Amino acid sequence: MKNTILSSPTLSVSIKRLSGAEDLSLPEYQTPNSAAMDIHAAVVETVVIEPRAIALIPTGFAMAVPEGYEAQIRPRSGLAVKHGITVINSPGTIDSDYRGEVKVALINHGPEAFEITRGMRIAQMLVAPVSRVDWQVAEELPTTERGAGGFGHTGA
């Protein structure tokens, strides 16, 4: 099977590099078929996240997500698996009307302190369309085979 690069429509998003972050990379895809872009830490000094602690890490950029879209901030799998570092509110949402610096709330679930250094890839960002809901109040809902079966109803 031939490996081909998928062609997706390109979304234009305005981004502003903040003062003091001129040396840092903007969010970037690591491979041609990556769904999300890696984002980098704009810490001035190394930040140590102790076990079970949370730290809010700056990224050095702000952006104008287009109306009808959101930017989702997600963990990097390598940091999660190797060190227990993840995004506490995963996925974090950057709304289309937010214009401040993007910051990432990281938590250390690992057994050892973890250092965040300047320029380190700390999370991933995916820009995705958002559906708007128009609630239709109903007396009854359509039935399904599953019905109200919830957590663990399949035995798993």
pLDDT in tens, 57-74: 999 999 999 999 999 999
Question: Quick check: 106 pLDDT over 50?
Answer: yes
Question: Quick check: 152 pLDDT over 90?
Answer: no
Question: Quick check: 41 pLDDT over 60?
Answer: yes
Cβ atoms within 10 A of the Cβ of 103, count? 16
Dihedral of alpha carbons 104, 75, 16, 48, sign: positive
Instruction: Give CA torsion, residues 126, 103, 83, 49, to 10 deg.
Output: -170
Task: Tell me the fold of 14-129.
Answer: Deoxyuridine 5'-Triphosphate Nucleotidohydrolase; Chain A (2.70.40)
Residue labelled with tokens 């879209």: 69
- Taking the C-alpha atoms of residue 35 and residue 79, their distance in angstroms, rounded to an integer, is 18
Residue 84 near residue 109 (C-beta atoms within 8 A): yes
What is the average per-residue pLDDT within 85-108? 97
- Taking the C-alpha atoms of residue 53 and residue 48, their distance in angstroms, rounded to an integer, is 9
Chain centre to alpha carbon of residue 20: 23
Question: Quick check: 36 pLDDT over 60?
Answer: yes
Question: Quick check: 21 pLDDT over 80?
Answer: yes
- Reference 51, options 1, 109, 103, 4; nearest CA is 109
Q: Any idea where the domains of the chain sit in the sequence?
A: 14-129
How confident is the model at residue 1, as a pLDDT?
Answer: 47
What is the average per-residue pLDDT within 36-53? 98
- Taking the C-alpha atoms of residue 8 and residue 154, their distance in angstroms, rounded to an integer, is 36
